[in-house]
Structure 1
Amino acid sequence: MTSFTAVVMAAGQGTRMKSATPKVLHEICGRPMVAWPVAAAQEAGAERVVVVTSPSVDLAAALPEGTRTAVQPQADGTGGAVLAALPETAPGVPVVVLSGDVPLVSASAIEELVTAHLGANAAATMATTLLDDPSGYGRVVRDAVGHVERVVETKAPGDATPEQLEIREINTGIYCFDHAALTDALPQVGTENAQGERYLPDVLTLLRDQGLIVAAHVVEDSALTFGINDRVQLADVTAIAQRRIHERHMRNGVTIVDPAGTYIDATVTIGQDTTIEPGTTLKGATTVGSGATIKQSYVVDTAVGDGVSVGPFAYLRPGTELQANSKVGTFVEVKNSNIGEGTKVPHLSYIGDADVGPASNLGAATITANYDSKSKTKSRTTIGANVKTSVDTTLVSPVSLGDGAYTAAGSVVTNDVPAGALAVARARQRNIEGYADRD
């Protein structure tokens, strides 16, 4: 991999989102928008990744580990953003400029841009793409040898000639610069325009006027360069990102029965020969092993082992671990618990803050009462191996059931149960004759 620095511009206000949340912090498939280009740059081998922020927004919590930040003191345009980042860039290596609201750019596209830039011996290389309908975009005009002569804006009638309007190649706003050339030219960019901003494309004009090469590299997949300005575009880009996540898993040997009815975050890992049934949502740092089946369930930050069966209508919450060949069935909720190998929680149960050994079977409506409202504390429940709880058992934590223990139906267990014992914790039944005939 060729070394380079990536600068991600993320200081824009994003007013068209009409949101109290900064635009670049809106999530796409479980990952903040701004983290997508950062992750792509890191995967492409960036020596440094610098995210440019505004003084009023702290993006640190949304950024992958190792990301640097630079503050753009005032909203003075794309040129001002890159100028703020320059002190954090690595001297002597190319600078790739990305946008925090263009999340689909891939590691391979970044690598190809840097390679093309170096191969052209260019001072700057503009990433371009071809659109069937380029209306409203600046057209890239090339010279006789194929280098960029200029970008013609088309926002108003008369901005471009009829011949220029026929050009389908547009500027994507993604660039690669020679570090020394950028450092020399960028401070020369002025703010003599209606917005009083520094425009990064003006650097290209300066470099061209100095007789330096400004190259263009065509990104074949135009979707990689889609930007987000409002929630309609957010939904459009999210749909593309989700489809690509599905395709990646399916090509790695996962069966997704109905991709249109399945939602998988970018951070989820799934082993081969696992089947994801319709109506399933996998979120956060969820890991699913091989040969598992997940049916119409909602799974968050959970580890699912090999050969596990989940659902339908299960809810697995953060901190849950399902060991190999275990089962969590219909209308079962599990939170912050370890379910042992081969153990079954078939239906209608809540298991929270519990450790369950292997080969146990928790009957319908088994509940761990793990919260003490007086002390406002949570305690854990320990259930051994080969334990059998009967229907409608409540385990009031902290409580422990030894290996091979049983509970009787309808029991509220408040004391530890020894190994191999049967716990019966319910009132003795009595029948009141004639009750229905009372006035």
Structure 2
Amino acid sequence: MKNSVAAIVLAAGKGSRMKSKKSKVLHTILGKPMLEYIYDVLDQSNAEKIVTVVGHQKEQIIDKFQNRSQFVTQDEQLGTGHAVMQGEEKFKNYSGHVLILCGDTPLLTSGTINSLIKHHIEGGYQGTILTALQQDPTGYGRVIRGADKNVISVVEQKDATEEQKNIKEVNTGIFIFQSKILFELLHKIQNNNAQGEYYLPDVLKVMLENSLEVGAMQMKDSTEMIGINDRVMLHDAQKAMQKAINLAWMKKGVTIIDPDSTYIDPTCQISQDVTIHPMTFIKGNTVIEEGAELGPNTTVVDSEIGENTSVVQSSVQSSKLKSGIQIGPYTHIRPNCEVADSVKLGNFVEVKNAKIGTQSKAAHLTYLGDCTIEENVNIGCGTITANYDGKQKHHTLIKKGAFIGSNSNLIAPITVGEQGFVAAGSTVTKDVPSDSLVIARGKEVVRKNWIKK
């Protein structure tokens, strides 16, 4: 227990500058709520226990993350020190170390936190602060060091002198303390400051007054400390994360034509020699195999894209595409589709809850819903599987080698047998036997000179 690490996450603020009915820490960056990034970091740092301090809109946070943290409530916003006090009961019998993190710092990495933990424990400190250099430190607490370069205090912006305001080393709001010392000294800090609040950094002052060891580690990349207070900062954080993710994939052998207009969620997996064109969004738990080509103007969500498959100006959702497939432009693959090797789905084709066999094709202007299409089937332009009768969805089965002529309506439930041929313009309501031609058109009637009459 001595060297174990737990965490308190501060997420009780109102976030009024976000101007939103949604809790600030639930606003998303590349598909994930910003608070989830903090929990992911703590998981990678082997945090034994996580306690989140909530307040404003707490129900939203608890409902979303009830399986990832314990929760305590800060009913009054009386400062960061007061917020941490709310978690004291959760650490009553805990003798390890407690990380203090903010729920609105989604760029923080596990590498930085693990370095902080190591610095703190190996240094034998009772408390350690994570600091950063900021060219414009406005708004941040300044880290004051003595002649020996050790930290002697942290001064909030509103309480700082003009000389102190010129200091560029700032408090990131991230700390680690020996648990028992933290909660003992929290009761000794006071709120005699400009805001009338209990500041967590004041614990460091009390520690120094009691000759306890205080450490400090300066983070390598100050971008990680960015806290999100409004939509502009949310945008800035997303751009920073987008840049880092795209750069990492390019270093692994992925070609990204325009990184500034390419958005890849951190949960995606991409193989080498994939090419991604501008204005492409890759979201959720998507997996893209070697040689695939996506975009431009393409969205792929929670899907698998096989080797050498091309998706151009199209949307793919919760589906599996095998290898050598041509998708698009303007194709919409809706959830629960499985598309086999060498299939072609072209202009303005919509597919939903469908299985499509090897080398089958639907080149344009087609709806294929609730159907199974076996291999080597040709689907003509304007074909519709009419799957809904107003109450229930019904299935269409088109067996291998069938040919569906243009502008055909297949009224489900229906089966087209092997090598079955549906003539263009047919509305088919009965099963088509194998090796048969079906013509289901209204009788053509010509009335000469009708217009003149």
**Which of 62, 69, 72 lines up with 1:67 in the alignment?**
69
Indicate the residue corresponding to 1:373 in structure 2: none
Report the residue type matching 1:416 in the other structure: T
8 Å CA contact retained: 1:153, 1:160: no
Give the stretch that moved more between structures: 260-269 or 219-228.
Answer: 260-269
CA drift of 1:428 comes to 5.0
How far apart, CA to CA, are the structure 2 residues paired with 1:365 and 1:223?
48
CA drift of 1:431 comes to 6.2
**TM-score scaled by structure 1?**
0.90
How far apart, CA to CA, are the structure 2 residues paired with 1:88 and 1:323?
50
Indicate the residue corresponding to 1:22 in structure 2: 23
3-state DSSP of counterpart to 1:116 = helix
Report the residue type matching 2:207 in the other structure: L
CA drift of 1:56 comes to 3.8
2:150 corresponds to 1:147: yes
CA drift of 1:95 comes to 1.0
2:330 corresponds to 1:342: no
- The correspondence of residues 36-435 of structure 1 with structure 2, limited to 5 A, is 36-54=37-55, 56-58=57-59, 59-63=61-65, 66-89=68-91, 91-155=94-158, 159-160=160-161, 162=163, 164-192=164-192, 195-296=195-296, 297-311=298-312, 313-317=313-317, 319-336=318-335, 337-368=337-368, 370=369, 380-397=370-387, 398-414=395-411, 415-424=414-423, 425-426=426-427, 427-428=441-442, 430=444, 432=446
**TM-score scaled by structure 2?**
0.87
Q: How has the CA–CA distance of structure 1 residues 194 and 423 changed in structure 2, closer, same or farther, with 3 Å as cutoff?
A: same
CA drift of 1:88 comes to 3.5
CA drift of 1:97 comes to 0.8
Indicate the residue corresponding to 2:431 in structure 1: none
- For structure 1, list consecutive stretches of 5 or more residues without a partner in the other structure: 371-379
CA drift of 1:392 comes to 1.5
How far apart, CA to CA, are the structure 2 residues paired with 1:428 and 1:212?
94
CA drift of 1:173 comes to 0.9
Report the residue type matching 2:150 in the other structure: H
8 Å CA contact retained: 1:34, 1:63: no
CA drift of 1:358 comes to 2.1
3-state DSSP of counterpart to 2:372 = strand
Offset from partner CA, 1:350-382 (integer Å, 9 cap, x none): 1111111222112312212x4xxxxxxxxx211
How far apart, CA to CA, are the structure 1 residues paired with 2:157 and 2:364?
66
CA drift of 1:193 comes to 5.1
RMSD of aligned residue pairs (Cα, Å): 2.3
Report the residue type matching 1:332 in the other structure: T
3-state DSSP of counterpart to 1:330 = coil
Q: How has the CA–CA distance of structure 1 residues 138 and 114 changed in structure 2, closer, same or farther, with 3 Å as cutoff?
A: same
Give the stretch that moved more between structures: 268-277 or 191-200.
Answer: 191-200
Q: How has the CA–CA distance of structure 1 residues 82 and 352 changed in structure 2, closer, same or farther, with 3 Å as cutoff?
A: same
Indicate the residue corresponding to 1:375 in structure 2: none
Offset from partner CA, 1:241-269 (integer Å, 9 cap, x none): 11111112112221111011212222222
8 Å CA contact retained: 2:39, 2:68: no
3-state DSSP of counterpart to 2:47 = coil
CA drift of 1:182 comes to 0.8
How far apart, CA to CA, are the structure 1 residues paired with 2:450 and 2:124?
95
8 Å CA contact retained: 1:38, 1:63: no
Q: How has the CA–CA distance of structure 1 residues 7 and 18 changed in structure 2, closer, same or farther, with 3 Å as cutoff?
A: same
Report the residue type matching 1:305 in the other structure: G
8 Å CA contact retained: 1:55, 1:71: no
Q: How has the CA–CA distance of structure 1 residues 201 and 435 changed in structure 2, closer, same or farther, with 3 Å as cutoff?
A: farther
Q: How has the CA–CA distance of structure 1 residues 161 and 26 changed in structure 2, closer, same or farther, with 3 Å as cutoff?
A: closer
3-state DSSP of counterpart to 1:367 = strand
Report the residue type matching 1:203 in the other structure: V
How far apart, CA to CA, are the structure 2 residues paired with 1:405 and 1:66?
52
Report the residue type matching 1:349 in the other structure: V
- For structure 2, list consecutive stretches of 5 or more residues without a partner in the other structure: 388-394, 428-440
How far apart, CA to CA, are the structure 2 residues paired with 1:186 and 1:168?
27
Q: % of aligned pairs identical? A: 32
Indicate the residue corresponding to 2:438 in structure 1: none
CA drift of 1:104 comes to 0.7
How far apart, CA to CA, are the structure 2 residues paired with 1:436 and 1:232?
67
The number of residue pairs the alignment matches comes to 423
Q: How has the CA–CA distance of structure 1 residues 438 and 288 changed in structure 2, closer, same or farther, with 3 Å as cutoff?
A: farther
8 Å CA contact retained: 1:363, 1:392: no
Q: How has the CA–CA distance of structure 1 residues 435 and 321 changed in structure 2, closer, same or farther, with 3 Å as cutoff?
A: farther
Offset from partner CA, 1:219-262 (integer Å, 9 cap, x none): 12110111111111111111101111111211222111101121
CA drift of 1:218 comes to 0.4
Offset from partner CA, 1:287-311 (integer Å, 9 cap, x none): 2122110012122222212221101
How far apart, CA to CA, are the structure 1 residues paired with 2:63 and 2:113?
24
Q: How has the CA–CA distance of structure 1 residues 36 and 396 changed in structure 2, closer, same or farther, with 3 Å as cutoff?
A: same
How far apart, CA to CA, are the structure 2 residues paired with 1:60 and 1:383?
45
